[in-house]
């Protein structure tokens, strides 16, 4: 019978290998392990905890399931885990590891623990549900190629002023983000879980933060819409990490104006594409993105525990 515990230092590579290979030996395992190690060193900056379920005696254990929890700004935590897909990891062992890891993260101050899963990975989903996670959303990932496209005018609609992020505009950005949450169809289960400052901190680390790529739209001096762009270097694109319009100003085509501004910024920074993710339940936003030329690339299931 396996035992769940924090992974001893001398077995960290064995547990991380379990995560990247699912338990089956692969030629690429060493490369995948190096990539995961590099990611943890950069993205997590040392703020990660590794749990495993192990068999065998303490002096010669074998990993049966493993999960690493990465603590991020904004009091959120992300889970990377070994998959059940190849049959080498049992649902029960993975669920036990996930439960222990999530409880520890929440006890350390995280307000939510999140994971992104493949829609086809139903046994992984089962393990997370068994560990107390709830479904947050089905996320649709979209990409807009800017090559050969005629740019839409990057100009503010009548009465709209665009402002860049800076210490002097931080409070206005926070008000705009908070106002955009009211009645939002994107991940409504998250409403009220974290405050605006936590959200801003989390958005800053979703890629490479550039304050000049964050835009606030005001109407008659009132915060009306928000566009947060970060550099997504692996995707070779600018990523819309958040876009929203305050309920009071919806229906004025402000979302389209913000997307046009995003495309203009991407061209200015010599990126050939924009990317983003949208909650599949938000049919209005999804339809808008398709109309603007975005193409679906893949989907993920978002689960969380709070």
Residue of 265, 268, 263, 271 lying closest to 292 (CA atoms)? 263
Q: Is the pLDDT of residue 22 over 70?
A: no
pLDDT tens-digit readout, 272-284: 999 999 999 999 9
State the Cα–Cα distance between residues 231 and 210, nearest whole angstrom. 8
pLDDT tens-digit readout, 225-267: 999 999 998 889 999 999 999 999 998 889 999 999 999 999 9
Is the separation of the CB atoms in 202 and 178 below 8 Å? no
pLDDT, average across residues 35-63: 83
222 or 185, greater pLDDT: 222
245 or 58, greater pLDDT: 245
pLDDT tens-digit readout, 157-174: 778 999 999 999 999 999
CATH topology of domain 3-132: Aminopeptidase (3.40.630)
pLDDT tens-digit readout, 137-153: 999 999 999 998 887 77
With pLDDT > 70 as the criterion, what percentage of the chain qualifies?
Answer: 96
DSSP 69-125: EEEETTTEEEEEE--STTSSS-HHHHHHHHHHHHHHHHHTT-SEEEEEE-TT-HHHH
pLDDT, average across residues 22-27: 58
Is the separation of the CB atoms in 226 and 217 below 8 Å? yes
pLDDT, average across residues 56-74: 88
14 or 240, greater pLDDT: 240
Q: Is the pLDDT of residue 121 over 80?
A: yes
State the Cα–Cα distance between residues 184 and 244, nearest whole angstrom. 8
Indicate the CATH number for domain 143-299: 3.40.630.30
CA angle (97 as vertex; 8, 25 as ends), nearest 5: 70
Give the pLDDT band (50/70/90) at residue 50.
very high
Domain boundaries, given as residue ranges, for the chain: 3-132, 143-299
Q: How far is CA 196 from CA 20, 121, 175, 176, 212, in A?
A: 34, 33, 8, 10, 20
Q: Is the pLDDT of residue 44 over 70?
A: no
Per DSSP, which regions of the chain are E strands?
A: 3-6, 48-55, 62-72, 76-81, 112-117, 134-145, 160-164, 208-219, 222-232, 237-245, 273-279, 295-305
User: Do 143-299 and 3-132 fall under one CATH topology?
Assistant: yes
pTM for the full model?
Answer: 0.91
Strands across the sheet containing 160-164: 3-6, 48-55, 62-72, 76-81, 112-117, 295-305, 134-145, 273-279, 237-245, 222-232, 208-219, 160-164
Give the pLDDT band (50/70/90) at residue 190.
confident
Instruction: Give the residues across from 115 on adjacent strands.
Output: 303
pLDDT tens-digit readout, 101-112: 999 999 999 999
Q: Is the pLDDT of residue 28 over 70?
A: no
């Amino acid at each position: 019978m396996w035992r769940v515990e924090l992974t001893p230092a001398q077995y960290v590579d064995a547990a991380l290998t379990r995560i990247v290979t699912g338990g089956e030996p692969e030629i690429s395992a060493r490369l995948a392990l190096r990539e995961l190690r590099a990611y943890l060193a950069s993205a997590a900056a040392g703020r990660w905890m590794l749990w495993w379920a192990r068999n065998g005696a303490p002096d010669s254990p074998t990993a049966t399931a493993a999960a690493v929890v990465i603590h991020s700004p904004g009091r959120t935590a992300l889970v990377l885990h070994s998959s059940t897909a190849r049959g080498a990891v049992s649902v029960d062992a993975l669920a036990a590891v996930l439960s222990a890891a999530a409880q520890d993260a929440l006890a350390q101050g995280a307000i939510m623990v999140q994971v992104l899963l493949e829609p086809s990975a139903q046994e992984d989903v089962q393990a997370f549900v068994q560990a107390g996670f709830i479904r947050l959303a089905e996320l649709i990932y979209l990409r807009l190629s800017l090559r050969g496209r005629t740019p839409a005018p990057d100009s503010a609609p009548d009465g709209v002023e665009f402002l860049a992020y800076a210490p002097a505009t931080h409070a206005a950005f926070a008000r705009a983000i908070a106002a955009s949450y009211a009645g939002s169809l994107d991940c409504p289960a998250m409403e009220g879980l974290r405050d605006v400052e936590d959200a801003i901190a989390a958005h800053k680390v979703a890629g490479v933060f550039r304050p000049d790529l964050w835009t606030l739209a005001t109407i008659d001096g009132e915060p009306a819409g928000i566009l947060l762009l970060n550099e997504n270097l692996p995707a070779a694109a600018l990523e819309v990490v958040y876009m929203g319009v305050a309920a009071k100003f919806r229906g004025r085509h402000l979302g389209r104006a913000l997307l046009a501004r995003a495309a203009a910024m991407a061209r200015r920074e010599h990126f050939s594409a924009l990317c983003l993710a949208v909650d599949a339940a938000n049919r209005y936003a999804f339809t808008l993105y398709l109309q603007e030329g975005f193409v679906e690339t893949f989907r993920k299931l978002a689960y969380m525990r709070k």
